[in-house]
Amino acid sequence: MNEIKNLVNTIIEGIQEKKGSKIVVADLTKIGNTICNYFIICQGNSTNHVSAVTNEIENYVRIHSGEKPIAIDGLKNAEWIAIDYADVMVHVFLPETRQYYDLEDLWEDAKLTKIEDLN
């Protein structure tokens, strides 16, 4: 489990490197039958920013933890990109898309931790 938490922290650092914002970590470990242990949700300001944050996460995690994603989906439109690390699923949204799907509310039974934006 410590390995998973290290992955979560590395992903957060990768998001912050490209100024991804409004990071929320949803701890799903106490909820049965989930597809992963953690969701990390964040946003970029534009489709280019969403793509840049996604690329930085992938590169930063590979360099700092040696992990590669199983899959990345949503690159074409870059409104909502999902990065699958098996135990951790990362969601990078445009603000309006994030508001529409409202994953934080959907997973309200999870322990949600908001990460302060870096200035």
Which among 77, 96, 89, 108 has a CA at the least distance from the CA of 7? 89
Into how many domains does the chain fold? 1
In a domain, 119, yes or no: no
CA torsion through residues 13, 61, 82, 103, sign:
negative
* The amino acid at 16: Q
In a domain, 113, yes or no: no
Tens of each residue's pLDDT in the chain, 119 residues = 689 999 999 999 999 999 999 999 999 999 989 999 999 999 999 999 999 999 999 999 999 999 999 999 999 999 999 999 999 999 999 999 999 999 999 998 999 999 999 86
Tokens standing for 14?
């990768």
In a domain, 76, yes or no: yes
Q: Rounded to whole angstroms, how far apart are CA atoms 66 and 33?
A: 27
In a domain, 87, yes or no: yes
Per the structure, the complete domain to which residue 102 belongs is given by 2-106
pTM comes to 0.95
In a domain, 23, yes or no: yes
Q: Rounded to whole angstroms, how far apart are CA atoms 19 and 27?
A: 22
In a domain, 43, yes or no: yes
The number of CA neighbours under 13 Å toward the Cβ of 13 is 13
Q: What are phi and psi of 47, to 5 degrees?
A: -60, -35
| pLDDT score, position 32 | 87
Q: Which CATH number fits the domain that encloses residue 94?
A: 3.30.460.10
